[in-house]
Chain A
Amino acid sequence: MTDPSRIRNFSIIAHIDHGKSTLADRLLERTGAITAREMRDQVLDTMDIERERGITIKANAVRIEFVAADGHTYQLNLIDTPGHVDFSYEVSRSLEACEGALLLVDASQGIEAQTLANAYLAIENGLEIIPVLNKIDLPAAEPERVSREMVGVLGGTVDDVIQVSAKTGDGVGELLQAIVDRLPVPHGDRNAPFRAMVFDSYYDTYRGVVSYIRVVDGRVKVHEPVEFMRTGHRVEADDLGIMTPSQVSRKTLAAGDVGYLVTGTKEIEQIRVGDTVTSSVNPASEPLPGYEEPKPMVFSGLFPTDGDDFERLREALDKLRLNDSSLQYVAETSRALGFGFRVGFLGLLHMEIVRERLEREYDLDLVATAPSVEYRAGLTDGTIVEVRSPQDLPPTGKLAYIEEPFVKVMIITPKEFVGVVMELVQQRRGEMGDMTYLTEDRVEIHYTVPLSEIVFDFFDQLKSATRGYASLDYEPNEYRKSDLVRVDILLNNVSVDAFSSIVHRDRAYRYGKAMSERLRKLIPRQLFDVPIQAAIGSRIIARETIKARRKDVTAKCYGGDITRKKKLLAKQKEGKKKMKMVGQVEVPPEAFVAALRIDE
């Protein structure tokens, strides 16, 4: 067992793409945790989606061993975290399992919005931060300027900043030594009753729920009885060990250690991320403070294309939630789409990833409805209703007012783009707060903006308006009254709940028109003319018609073509199976998120 004085626990945090996972590669490589043969780029990004998109989605913990200048071997538990704002909950949980953080900044980009957001998170958690300047090998690197920016935010001196290249490995030795020298020794009492924090988990078909834990006090041995304090679930520790990154069994985990714990638990609800595991023989008196549940930013309906898959979808969500504790969902019914779930997400990328994981990992075919933020409706009788889906909006007669969520937005941009940024946020009903200069040519601007205005396509627009130089972070603020209306869409004269949307009154007309046009293009021609109308209450504000299908036949089909034609039709049939019947109209799944891509 390693003496706590020879253990260091830290997370690697940064803005997206600043090189966290690549730095983790070098740390693993340098300490021999991984052989040259096993090495590949961003080796900790193991999920298919992570590799395809080149981003980290899940935090990953690994133990490495480093022989420091004093000749002793140190146990380093590192956690590589995601940089995208939608996954900041992964970062905050990771930080709670650590005493230190490496704050990485790309030397060619400088400090960006999530650099600051993550730095503040680490500071709030009382972590020791080592500023690390990465990508110094790049010709565009500006180490002096960016080091000054970092000192400006974190204090200290330019000499505290460690310069590395995660690509070439330059400076990585120095960084490892700094981790040993500068990060605190884990606190915690090895003689106290066993207490560990469950900071992540996943479901394994054979072993049941696997928990990732950070041991805070005491120790746990394999086959010892343990208890999950909040659920009261008592089981035996079947297996425990460390991640190197592959799981390696150990007999004991002790205070300061980060590892995994298998209890053979198949009842998913018994184990929750944020719970405390203790010994059931000699239990701790108090659980550790749990995690604050993250607040979903957007809600969308998820429905199985095949109505029979509803139960499978529920199971999949339950299992996925083990591995993504930010996921929140309740069952809902739609007249158009049947039984499904209203799911809360931390942002659009999160929504996309969850849907993709459900489809891939659980072999489901899903229809997603257009995402919506959570509104609040004040009724004439004084009650307040939460509106997570446009269908939940009470009828106009009962409505006194509608409130929408606002967020505090931080934008970091080069000085020359301040004008365009201001204009862009203005169009989004944003209210400017203060503006500070990070350095003489980089500015940090604060705004208060309706969440609905920034959560969908704002980031793309900001990026293109500033040639990719501006970055953005936001956090929930307050609810405010707004002049909002629900725009309904009638397909073949019947209102389709899944197409309704709540929008600002000034935009309702343009929105209704754009949405009807888009649907006309997305919905294939049917056996009869299909009118599409956009309406506010009973007032029609836009109208389009999908002309009846006139020709749907292959010209030739002779002896030679029979097999080929059958295959062709069979392929088209698969597309047809994905269609949702809405009344008498066949609607492709893409149509339900059409509202997302309306470029105004």
Chain B
Amino acid sequence: MTVTAEPRRPDDATLADELADTRSVYIHIPFCRRRCPYCDFAVVAAGESRISHRTYVDAVLQDMRSEAPWFAISAINFGGGTPSAVEPGLIAELIRRVRDIADVTTGAEISLEANPEDWTEEFGEALRGAGVNRITFGVQSLDPTILGSLGRTHDATAAIQAISGARHLGFSVGADLIFGTPAESLQSWRATAETTLSAGIDHLSAYGLTVERGTALSREVAAGGPAPDQDDQADKYELTQLLAAQAGLVQYEVSNYARPGHHCIYNLSTWAQGEYLGFGVGAHGHRDAMRYRNVRRIEKYVELVTDGKRPWAGTERSEHHDYRIERLFLGLRRMAGVAVDETVVRFLATSDGQRYLGAGLVEVINERLVVTTPLLTDTVARSVLSLSPDDC
């Protein structure tokens, strides 16, 4: 990576494109205290499995060994589940193993998702020692009522303390927030966003609450319970954009904002179709034009790996056409958009493309196609996916 005086803006177009050649590693830690009602990740809630953290991490370590060597990794990302639920020592072991199978570049992003409740200074120091340099807290909300309805047990104070504690130790600090829970007022959201931003975070991921299939929330909604509202979420989204900008964070993707120099390399790389290895239950990977996903059940995962097999539940090879379409549908989520190529030109020539240009929903700026209203990105994405192979 080139060293520049000014840190680069997260929405920089060159940055967005250059990360296509970056490789990362994703490691999934599935353990959580309990399952939150809206969550559809691969999660093992306390008491759901007999498999210990140690056994699981051993399986992941073993699976890493079966991966062919790789070079120049720029990011290691621990996601979950709750990575902070396991001993930092185990995290350290996993990072060491990555270094065994790959060449981790200096200044690489080593990032971990943490639950504010798990934060202690000791914990932070142990992580630093292991090489973690970026931490994102699952704050979700600072309003106790909303936290309750999201099934969260921490309180606002713990969240703010965790953020400042991590800053103190020199981490690049991010917060994940959820807006648009049916019981949430606009004021409540404003307070959550403002307070979190002023705690001095470097990175913000703000997600509209989504009803995912198979979750407790979706069953409640199906039974007539209150559902998130499109207009309410749009209002809160627009407010978030405003507040983040005032706090000096630059929006660089539909749901992501960062201070210059603090963008998430791993994420930017995946949006640019970069390659990444995925380890652990439910993890996904992308290598040599193939996308794969791991089994979601922890018992199955451990069994497969112990048998010396790859824990894949499915693989998908990207065809040429799909791959070009995918570049657009991923890339358009970024504020940087995508560089105009033949596919973009074809798309703009379709009746949908023309309509969106006419309505100002998409624009071509500096030879790049961008979606001007990120809230309507999927409207554009569906039309992009409707391009037939002959159109490309």
Q: Count of A residues near B, CB < 8 Å?
A: 28
27 contacts between A and B (CB under 8 A): A527-B356, A527-B379, A547-B231, A549-B376, A550-B375, A551-B230, A551-B375, A552-B376, A552-B378, A553-B254, A553-B376, A554-B210, A555-B209, A555-B254, A558-B267, A558-B270, A559-B24, A559-B267, A559-B286, A562-B284, A562-B330, A566-B329, A569-B378, A569-B381, A570-B385, A572-B378, A584-B355
Given A550-B231, A562-B284, A576-B386, check contact A556 B267 (CB 8 Å): no
Enumerate B268-310 residues with CB–CB distance to A below 8 Å.
270-271, 276, 278, 282-286, 291, 293
Contacts of A555 on B, CB cut-off 8 Å?
A: 207-210, 254-255
A528 to B360: give the CA distance in the assembly, Å: 11
Nearest CB on A from B39, distance (A): 11
A561 to B231: give the CA distance in the assembly, Å: 25
9 smallest A-B Cβ distances: which pairs?
A550-B234, A555-B207, A559-B270, A560-B284, A553-B377, A551-B234, A552-B378, A552-B379, A551-B230
Q: Say whether A563 contacts B377, CB under 8 Å.
A: no
Q: A178 at interface (Cβ–Cβ under 8 A)?
A: no
Q: Say whether B385 contacts A554, CB under 8 Å.
A: no
Which interface residue of B267, B356, B386 has the most chain A CB atoms within 10 A? B386
Contacts of B286 on A, CB cut-off 8 Å?
A: 559, 562
Q: Say whether B283 contacts A552, CB under 8 Å.
A: no
Contacts of A525 on B, CB cut-off 8 Å?
A: 230
Contacts of B383 on A, CB cut-off 8 Å?
A: 576
Q: Say whether B333 contacts A557, CB under 8 Å.
A: yes
Q: Say whether B385 contacts A551, CB under 8 Å.
A: no
Q: B31 at interface (Cβ–Cβ under 8 A)?
A: no
Q: A581 at interface (Cβ–Cβ under 8 A)?
A: yes
A362 to B316: give the CA distance in the assembly, Å: 32
Q: Which of B24, B267, B326, B359 contacts A527 (CB 8 A)?
A: B359
A573 to B385: give the CA distance in the assembly, Å: 7
Contacts of B326 on A, CB cut-off 8 Å?
A: 562, 566
Enumerate B351-392 residues with CB–CB distance to A below 8 Å.
351, 355-356, 359, 361, 374-379, 381-383, 385-386
Q: Which of B278, B329, B374, B377 contacts A559 (CB 8 A)?
A: B278
Contacts of A187 on B, CB cut-off 8 Å?
A: none
A389 to B94: give the CA distance in the assembly, Å: 72
Contacts of A528 on B, CB cut-off 8 Å?
A: 359
Q: B137 at interface (Cβ–Cβ under 8 A)?
A: no
Q: Say whether B375 contacts A552, CB under 8 Å.
A: yes
Which interface residue of A527, A547, A557 has the most chain B CB atoms within 10 A? A557
Nearest CB on A from B343, distance (A): 15
A301 to B390: give the CA distance in the assembly, Å: 32
Enumerate A469-505 residues with CB–CB distance to B below 8 Å.
none
CB-based nearest A residue for B235: A550
Contacts of B26 on A, CB cut-off 8 Å?
A: 559-560
CB-based nearest A residue for B228: A551
Q: Say whether A560 contacts B230, CB under 8 Å.
A: no
Contacts of B283 on A, CB cut-off 8 Å?
A: 560
Contacts of A554 on B, CB cut-off 8 Å?
A: 210, 378
Nearest CB on A from B179, distance (A): 9
Q: A577 at interface (Cβ–Cβ under 8 A)?
A: yes
A573 to B382: give the CA distance in the assembly, Å: 5
A581 to B374: give the CA distance in the assembly, Å: 24
Q: Say whether A556 contacts B382, CB under 8 Å.
A: no
Besides the known contacts A553-B377, A559-B26, A581-B351, 13 further A-B residue pairs in the complex with CB atoms under 8 A apart:
A549-B379, A550-B230, A550-B231, A552-B375, A559-B266, A563-B284, A566-B326, A569-B329, A569-B385, A570-B385, A573-B382, A573-B385, A576-B386
Q: Which of A527, A557, A562, A581 contacts B361 (CB 8 A)?
A: A527
Contacts of A559 on B, CB cut-off 8 Å?
A: 24, 26, 266-267, 270, 276, 278, 284-286
Contacts of A558 on B, CB cut-off 8 Å?
A: 267, 270
